[in-house]
Chains A and B, each alone.
Chain A
Amino acid sequence: MTTIKKLINKAKRRLLRMHFESNVGHIGGNLSCLDLLVCLYHKIIEDKDAFVLSKGHAAGSLYTTLWSLGCLSDEDLQTFHQNGTKLAGHPPINGIPKILFATGSLGHGLSLSNGLALGKKLKGEAGRVFCLLSDGEWNEGSNWEALIFAVHQKLNQLTIIIDCNGLQGFGTTHEVANLEPLTDKFLAFGCAVTEINGHDPDNIIEALSLTMTKPHVILAYTTKGHGISFMENKMEWHYLPMTLEQYQQALEETSL
């Protein structure tokens, strides 16, 4: 097993433990984007770059990824969702240097990323800006405002990663507000588009390494609840916490 796969596995088991110990749901959408976040933070992001988690309900994945980098401690993760924590259910306003914005209401992160990218451009600073959104989040009109702006302002150092797990709050993305063909829409708006398997580290790292002459959209096809048999593609794992039996099974399924 490659080093990056081991890192993802370690983060995944820590994510499961954190959600189990805190008796918290939202695990499905965390598992769909964990591979993306671990690859991004361990292989791509440099000090001069910035990241915005627009799908704030995947805070668990972000906290666990920052833990895998040594930016958060085990003790920090043990406070997740507890009274007096800085690790709220969605990214906090301040207190964690690598988290730039409190997100959680969908459709904000891309515009914030636009601001970071435009600011870097106006200041003549180097650095890329990455933004991770969910697929359901493209129901929000503000994202399309943001996309028009990014292309028009030539924010070419912007990489938009979309966690396409196909499930949203109360149905599949096809059932709720079908946006297909999504790829064609991004192309029509003037973006560069790359489609990848969002659980294949080589695929992820290769796509994230690309530099483009337009804002770059990476459509990462993922599985909600990825890697845990009873969670995969099940909408209820957007909400449910794990029982002890389910947690033990999840650990077995992720043991190396």
Chain B
Amino acid sequence: MRNILCDTLTKCSDNPKFVFLTGDLGYQALEPLQQTLGERFINAGVAEQNMVSVAAGLAKVGLQPWVYSISPFVYARPFEQIRNDVCLHDFPVRLVGNGGGYAYGVMGATHHALEDYGAMLCLMNMRVFVPAFAADVLEIINQLHSFNHPAYLRLGRCEKPKDVDLPPYTPWRRLLQGEGATMLIVGPLAGGIIDAAQHLSDAYRPNLWILTELPIEPAKIPQDFLDDLEKSGHLFIVEEHIAHGGVGQIIARCLLEMGRLPTKFTHRHALGYVSGLYGSQTFHRQECGLDPTSILEKLKG
């Protein structure tokens, strides 16, 4: 997703308001953007607190700053700068976190982003974008150009199965239909689950939905999703994020408020470091029951 981010932003570089700041990251990825933007590409150094407030100052004078780093270094380290300098003032600063969830794998816990969108959604005016597929990044960036509020974009690795065609981009998309659970997936791990679940028999195959924008606005939950939920009676949430502040909690609250609660609720989410050992993103997903095999077992009851 990082490459498509770079390609898309490079194409927008003729916008004189566009400024890109990186916290000294982007080697072998952001060089084309650096070359095209010239002085509007700022390597702010390993100093994320300053970088975020600088972005707020740039936004104050009418520029459109993007701030890039590995996820935890862009949402956790400068949290107060995001809260006070960006969100309180409702500045259109775009925070881009590379490596959502366990994407940095065996690099270790400090590089994982397991509570990123929950933390960001606590802040006033903040909107979160979690593209599930590389193609979503393009759509989201195009949307962000005219979005006048703070935004956090969580990037991961696209896992779209080759034989799956994506419907046109919307924040809620149904990718599979069946008679099983109503499944709502956040993030790129959707790809592997779609690949496995599409071959299930009708009875077990879920109505599989992808959600890419947060917070959830109850009025914008598609009627088709609510109909699916009513029919199946089973809401199955999958997200590479801890339970607290995650989509499971958010949608449960929405449905409670709407009086549309399902009879069965399954929430698969990040569990931290179950064995205390480290491995690839796949290893951590397996430890949390977020891998396609575990999800399929659950779907089959």
Per-residue interface assignment for chain B, residues 38 to 57, with 1 indicating a CB less than 8 Å from any chain A CB and 0 otherwise: 01101011010110111111
Q: What 0/1 pattern do residues 6 to 28 of B give for CB contact below 8 A with A?
A: 00000000000001000000000
B interface, size bucket: 20 to 34
Contacts of A113 in B (CB 8 A): 57
* Cβ A149 vs Cβ B54 within 8 A: yes
Interface SS majority for chain A: helix
- A153 contacts which chain B residues (CB < 8 A)? 42
Tell me the smallest distance from the CB of A92 to a CB of chain B, in Å. Answer: 10
**Complex: how many Å from CA A116 to CA B88?**
17
Residue among A108, A113, A125 with the highest chain B CB neighbour number at 10 A: A108
- Pick the interface stretch among A59-67, A139-147, A189-197, A244-252: A139-147
Residues A111 and B84 in contact, CB atoms below 8 Å apart: no
Q: How far is the CA of A116 from the CA of B56 in the complex (A)?
A: 9
Q: How large is the interface on A (under 10, 10 to 19, 20 to 34, 35 or more residues)?
A: 20 to 34
B173, CB-defined interface residue at 8 Å: no
Task: Determine the distance from Cα of A221 to Cα of B89 in the docked complex, in whole angstroms.
Answer: 33
Interface check B212, CB cutoff 8 A? no
Cα(A146)–Cα(B40), bound, Å = 18
- CB of B40 within 8 A of CB of A114, answer no
- Measuring CB to CB, which residues of chain B are less than 8 angstroms from any residue of chain A? 19, 39-40, 42, 44-45, 47, 49-50, 52-63, 80-81, 84-85, 88-89
> Can you pick out 20 interface pairs between chain A and chain B where the beta carbons lie within 8 Å of each other?
A93-B89, A102-B84, A105-B80, A108-B80, A108-B85, A111-B50, A111-B54, A112-B53, A112-B54, A113-B57, A115-B58, A116-B60, A119-B61, A123-B61, A125-B61, A141-B49, A142-B49, A149-B45, A149-B50, A152-B45
Known: A115-B54, A115-B60, A119-B61. 14 other contacts (CB 8 A): A93-B88, A100-B60, A101-B56, A101-B60, A111-B49, A111-B50, A111-B54, A115-B55, A115-B61, A116-B57, A119-B58, A119-B62, A120-B61, A153-B42
The 9 closest A-B pairs by CB, nearest first: A115-B57, A111-B53, A119-B61, A145-B47, A145-B50, A115-B54, A142-B49, A111-B50, A116-B57
